[in-house]
Amino acid sequence: MKEDAQQILKLFDDGDRALIAADVTELERIYAEDYIQYDESGHASTRQDLIRHLTSSAIRFLSMTSTGRQVRFLRDDVAMVHGSENDEIEREGQRTIVRYVYSDVVMKRGEKWQIVASQLAKPVISSEK
């Protein structure tokens, strides 16, 4: 499992770089053809949607900082990856920082791991009284 966990963490690091570079070949390797993502508002996106937004420059990832990334195996060929992100993006000419927590499902298909599903949520900032 340790080798698989290392492969999964590398997959996510590669994914961050591919998103910043809008590298379609890498994105198609990393995200499964049947990939689905639900954002914090419940909107669903596919791998094709992601690639289209990146290649049309509708959205650009300028930087990505992931923290707390952890892998939890559910079976030998299925794992959950969760953590948080602080990303600098550009959308419609406006630069913003987006912060979210995520849970991703990865599956080993053949000999390679791929991200098959993602759920994003806005982090809750609590204030103690």
Q: Which residues contact 91 (CB under 8 A, 6 or more apart)?
A: 58, 59, 60
Kindly give the confidence (pLDDT) of every residue in the chain, 129 residues in length, as a single tens digit, with 9 standing for 90 and above.
789 999 999 999 999 999 999 999 999 999 999 999 998 888 999 999 999 999 998 889 999 999 889 999 999 999 999 999 999 999 888 999 989 899 999 999 988 999 999 999 987 665 555
**Inter-residue contact 51 to 40 (CB < 8 Å):** no
**127: exposed, middle or buried (Cβ count in 10 Å: 0-12, 13-18, 19+):** exposed
How high is the pLDDT of residue 125?
62
Sorted by where each begins, the domain ranges of the chain are 2-121
Q: Which among 69, 63, 81 has a CA at the least distance from the CA of 20?
A: 63
We find that the CATH architecture of domain 2-121 is Roll (3.10)
